[in-house]
Chains A and B, each alone.
Chain A
Amino acid sequence: MPRWGMVFDLKRCIGCNACTIACKQENTTPDRVLWTKTVSEEIGTYPNVTRAYIPLICNHCEDAPCERVCPTKATYTREDGIVMVDENKCIGCGACATACPYKNRYKLHQEQFDRGLYRSGQLTPFEKQGYGRFVAGTTVKCTFCHERVDAGLEPACVITCPTEARIFGDLDNPSSKARRIIQARKGYQPLAQHNTKPKVFYVE
């Protein structure tokens, strides 16, 4: 069984947020829900200033605090390491959202599904179809595009990234590209001090 993870190459990310759009398109996430995005940070002082772009996503932590605090067991980890939320069990208590140190969870509200994202406010056929997968009042997060992964494909953000700054692969397979990059370039995890053991790594 693979153990899926992702690597972000910070040298390659240009902050175009094509990944953000690809994710929204793939998953039909409603207004104000971004399962992945790229934030930026100003580094240095004038006149030697530059901007770094940092992609963020659910880290599918091995020891996920969101799963630990979930009172209903709606949050669970699949055998391949993908952390999921069962929308039929979630009560929308928000405990997982507060417990995620990376703030990578979103609570859905009915009004997010009542209005379309286009100016007219009408739901498009795409939105009508896509919103059917969500349950208002529950909590959602990135799923590593589990349907695509199950079909042998890579997550939408990965195939869309024009600079190949996102590398998806089996962290237990020594010959996977993700694993090799982590080893060769000393990949590090976000907020590693919390011992959540993220399956997302960054390399510089």
Chain B
Amino acid sequence: MHSKIYELVGDEFELGYRRQEFWGWKIAFAFFFGEVGAGLFFISAFYSFLLGMVVGWIMVTVFKPAALFMHLGKPLRAWRAIMGLGHSWISRGLLASILFTGFGGIYLLNLYFKILSQPLSTVVFVVAMLACIVVMIYLGFVLSYSPSIPLWESGLMPIISLTYGLLGGVTLVLLFGYQTFLTANPETFKLLKALELGLVIFCAVLLASFLHGAAYASDAGRKSVSCLLKEDLAKWFIPSVILVGMVLTLLLINMAPVSVAVLVAIAVAELIGDVGLKILLFKAAIYQPSLSHSRF
């Protein structure tokens, strides 16, 4: 750990902390659509809720690649990203997304047209669900796998990805299912509401542990946390991720009488918190200085 506290520097020829600038809002949206879409498909699948599964599948299959293609410098070569399965979580995530697209799509078609036998349909379902889980968590592995940025280098990252994916899924199932299958199943509605509540609280605990861990991991980690909670990014992080994404979501789930308007408000608040967190994780990522004379 460095004993000297450095300044954040840009392109100056000065030693100091430097911000990560390669990943921004496009890739944040790509992962947002991937996680929430997979979460929506996953939760909907338990209730055979076709609308939720279709919307989740479209988010992963259409919106996520669209955002990714906008980010890539050479989108037409994107297929090459499958080559690094042995070592790269991006490749593994891509494989999972392809499997999800294929097997999830076949499963959806089968729900409608009944083309597969029961055992085959079960196999397709299991593969689609496994791929769905990988799509939900792989951003966490992508970020935690690199030693460069202390904020990201945390074993909690994949759990945060999974939890936000499931939370987004539950939120959207409540919204889309309210006037469809949930009307006839008030018990399921109650269960999903309780699950939403639990997941928001779990997200808050996870985020607190994650920030605490980053702040004590290294000086650069502390700088990242300070940027999020006290410095330039605090004006975005506190209102979007904490106040809207967590506090407002919790208040709305608990207090307001349920209506479509309230469920829309819950979904908007929760999803703002989710996408805000992803963008800010990229913005707050800070590299340590490569060398420090003050060590000697």
Q: Which residues does A use to contact B, with CB under 8 Å?
A: 10, 15, 17, 32, 37-41, 43, 52, 54, 56, 65, 68-74, 89-95, 97-103, 105, 107-109, 135-139, 190-191, 194-196, 202, 204
Contacts and interface: CB of A to CB of B under 8 A. Distances in A.
A17 B296 CA distance: 24
Given A54-B293, A97-B22, A72 B71 contact: no
A174 B110 CA distance: 67
B13 A68 contact: no
B216 interface: no
B82 interface: yes
A89 B15 contact: no
Interface of B: 11-15, 18, 20, 22-23, 27, 71-75, 77-78, 80-84, 87-91, 94, 142, 145-149, 285, 287-288, 290-294, 296
A44 to B, nearest CB: 10
B73 A136 contact: yes
Contacts of B23: 94, 98
Contact of B72 (A52, A100, A137): A137
Q: Which of A72, A74, A94, A196 has the most CB of B within 10 A?
A: A72
Q: Which of B11, B84, B287 has the most CB of A within 10 A?
A: B84
B80 A72 contact: yes
Contacts of B80: 71-72, 74, 89, 91
Q: Could you tell me the dominant secondary structure of chain B's interface residues? A: loop
Pick the 3 closest A-B CB pairs, nearest first.
A92-B73, A137-B73, A94-B22
A101 B287 contact: yes
B7 to A, nearest CB: 10
Contacts of B147: 65, 99, 101, 194-196
A42 to B, nearest CB: 9
Given A65-B146, A194-B147, A195-B147, 19 more contacts: A52-B293, A71-B82, A71-B90, A72-B80, A72-B84, A89-B83, A91-B73, A91-B77, A94-B27, A95-B142, A97-B22, A98-B22, A98-B23, A98-B149, A103-B287, A107-B73, A136-B73, A139-B73, A196-B147
B90 A40 contact: no
Nearest to B148: A101
A77 to B, nearest CB: 13
Given A72-B81, A91-B81, A54 B87 contact: no
Q: Which of A39, A91, A191, A194 has the most CB of B within 10 A?
A: A91
Nearest to B220: A101
B290 A102 contact: yes
Contacts of B77: 72, 89-91
Contact of B290 (A15, A56, A135, A195): A56
B279 to A, nearest CB: 15
Nearest to A56: B290
Contact of A138 (B74, B94, B291): B74
B90 A90 contact: no
B186 to A, nearest CB: 46
A202 B291 contact: yes
B14 A99 contact: no
